[in-house]
């Protein structure tokens, strides 16, 4: 195996395809890089939506990271099962998830849970549930800083909502949450400028909260694209997620970040149906399909145009079929790793070119027990 082919299996014949391979040494590199950039683990609240995996959670705990962020009740439960001390459910609980959030708190009393709200109705509903169950719920206000996906605009209405939470006997206003995933300019200077401009409104809201006589709010900010900027701010907790496994999409957009792809798709050529066409076993069921083509970055094809994807198949135009045979194995980094991981029950662990075990993607489903 060539030294630069870190991804290649020494004995691939017994590995089924498609599979998602994970490389622990690269995961650990990414964890250390996050901590170094943030100036210490205390300034981090990494998201687990990318990996949904206990082994990676425990590795972060071993490095001193004790605050985490998640998107689902199942992910929150996985964190609690790993004895994570502090867990933020970063999806406002609605419908049945409100009761599930209460059940989670009751089932895992050693973990401090919090969640997001962005409107008076949800605050009222959670307040009633907290009173009914004799609990105090920890809440962050989710702020819309330009992505227009969730959150409340950081203006007087947000200030009023924060005050409402602060005066409720069964609710605790912990702080502010600002996700700016829409800021993806590949020019780091422009991306920083955009990030700083969006964050100004958050700081202004924080100042008004303090002027009201309330405790200084904790601020959780950003995702992976804005991580290099938020991680340098004083009194701000940065919350990257994709940084744990990285992918080709972010790698191409943000080459200045020192993260390594740590998960690779293992695939084989299924067929050569006509001259110039290769078919791989990377259909929608095995590879995130919401991205435009290309959807992977092949590590073992020097060129080729990705044409089409269906449920089980992935077609690539290639002009040198003489050296490629049906059944031949190949390796590819997904352009978008997060939804790709969720398609696999387990990650195949590879160390020094050998399969050494598997890591269960335990929170890929909606529910574990709660």
**Whether 117 and 69 share a structural domain:** yes
pTM of the model: 0.96
**Whether 202 and 98 share a structural domain:** yes
d(CA 178, CA 155): 13
Q: Report, as an integer, the average pLDDT of 13-36.
A: 97
Task: Tell whether 132 is covered by a domain.
Answer: yes
Task: Tell whether 161 is covered by a domain.
Answer: yes
Q: Report, as an integer, the average pLDDT of 271-278.
A: 91
Range of the domain at 307: 12-20+262-360
Coil, strand, or helix at residue 258?
Answer: coil
Task: Tell whether 337 is covered by a domain.
Answer: yes
**Whether 16 and 30 share a structural domain:** no
Task: Tell whether 369 is covered by a domain.
Answer: no
Asked if residue 302 has pLDDT above 90, the reply is no
**CB 66, CB 237: distance < 8 Å:** no
Q: Report, as an integer, the average pLDDT of 126-136.
A: 98
- Strand partners for 137: 171
Q: Report, as an integer, the average pLDDT of 229-253.
A: 97
Coil, strand, or helix at residue 78?
Answer: helix
**Whether 266 and 330 share a structural domain:** yes
**Whether 60 and 182 share a structural domain:** yes
**Whether 193 and 297 share a structural domain:** no
Query: Tell me, what's the pLDDT at 1?
Result: 39
**Whether 100 and 196 share a structural domain:** yes
| Domain CATH number, residue 67 | 3.20.20.10
d(CA 160, CA 142): 13
**Whether 153 and 204 share a structural domain:** yes
| Domain CATH number, residue 304 | 2.40.37.20
**Whether 118 and 98 share a structural domain:** yes
Task: Tell whether 115 is covered by a domain.
Answer: yes
Q: How many domains would you assign to the chain?
A: 2
d(CA 285, CA 288): 8
Task: Tell whether 370 is covered by a domain.
Answer: no
Q: Which of 220, 246, 272 is the last residue of a domain?
A: 246
**Whether 155 and 72 share a structural domain:** yes
Task: Tell whether 327 is covered by a domain.
Answer: yes
**CB 23, CB 6: distance < 8 Å:** yes
**CB 133, CB 107: distance < 8 Å:** no
Q: What is the pLDDT of residues 37-94, one digit of tens each?
A: 999 999 999 999 999 999 999 999 999 999 999 999 999 999 999 999 999 999 999 9
**CB 363, CB 72: distance < 8 Å:** yes
The tokens for 198 are 């969006």
**Whether 282 and 236 share a structural domain:** no
Task: Render 13-67 in DSSP notation, one character per residue.
Answer: GGS-SSEEEE-HHHHHHHHHHHHHHHTSGGGB--B-TTT--HHHHHHHHHTT--E
d(CA 72, CA 69): 10
Q: What is the pLDDT of residues 307-366, one digit of tens each?
A: 999 999 999 999 876 668 899 999 999 999 999 999 999 999 999 999 999 999 999 999
Q: Alpha helices, DSSP H only, in the chain? A: 24-38, 54-62, 73-81, 96-107, 120-132, 156-166, 188-211, 227-230, 248-253, 337-341
Q: Report, as an integer, the average pLDDT of 252-275.
A: 96
d(CA 351, CA 358): 11
**Whether 112 and 30 share a structural domain:** yes
């Amino acid at each position: 195996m060539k030294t630069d082919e870190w991804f290649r299996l020494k004995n691939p014949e017994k590995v089924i395809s498609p599979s998602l391979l994970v490389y622990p040494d690269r995961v650990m590199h990414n964890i250390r890089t996050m901590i170094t950039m943030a100036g210490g683990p205390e300034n981090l609240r990494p998201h687990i939506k990318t990996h949904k995996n206990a082994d990676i959670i425990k590795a972060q705990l071993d490095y001193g990271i004790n605050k985490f962020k998640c998107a689902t009740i199942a992910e929150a439960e996985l964190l609690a099962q790993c004895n994570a001390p502090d867990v933020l459910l970063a999806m406002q609980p609605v419908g049945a998830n409100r009761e599930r959030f209460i059940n989670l708190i009751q089932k895992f009393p050693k973990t401090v849970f919090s969640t997001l709200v962005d409107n008076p109705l949800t605050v009222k509903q959670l307040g009633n549930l907290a009173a009914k169950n004799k609990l105090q719920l920890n809440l962050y206000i989710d702020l819309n800083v330009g992505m227009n996906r969730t959150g409340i605009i950081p203006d007087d209405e947000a200030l009023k909502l924060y005050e409402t939470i602060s005066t409720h006997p069964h609710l605790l206003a912990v702080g502010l949450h600002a996700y700016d995933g829409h800021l993806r300019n590949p020019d780091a200077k422009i991306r920083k400028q955009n990030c700083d401009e969006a964050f100004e409104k958050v700081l202004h809201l924080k100042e008004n909260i303090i002027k009201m006589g309330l405790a200084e709010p904790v601020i959780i900010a950003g995702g992976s694209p804005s991580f290099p900027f938020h991680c340098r701010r004083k009194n701000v907790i940065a919350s990257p997620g994709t940084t744990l496994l990285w992918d080709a999409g972010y790698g191409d957009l943000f080459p200045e970040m020192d993260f390594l792809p740590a998960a690779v798709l293992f695939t084989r050529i299924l067929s050569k149906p006509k001259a110039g066409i290769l078919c791989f076993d990377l259909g929608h069921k095995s590879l995130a399909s919401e991205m435009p083509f290309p959807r992977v970055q092949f590590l073992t094809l020097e060129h080729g145009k990705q044409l089409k994807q269906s449920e089980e198949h992935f077609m690539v135009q290639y002009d040198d079929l003489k050296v490629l045979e049906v059944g031949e194995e190949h390796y590819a980094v997904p352009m978008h790793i997060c939804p790709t991981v969720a398609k696999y029950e387990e990650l195949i662990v590879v160390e020094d070119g050998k399969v050494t075990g598997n890591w269960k993607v335990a929170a890929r489903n909606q529910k574990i027990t709660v």
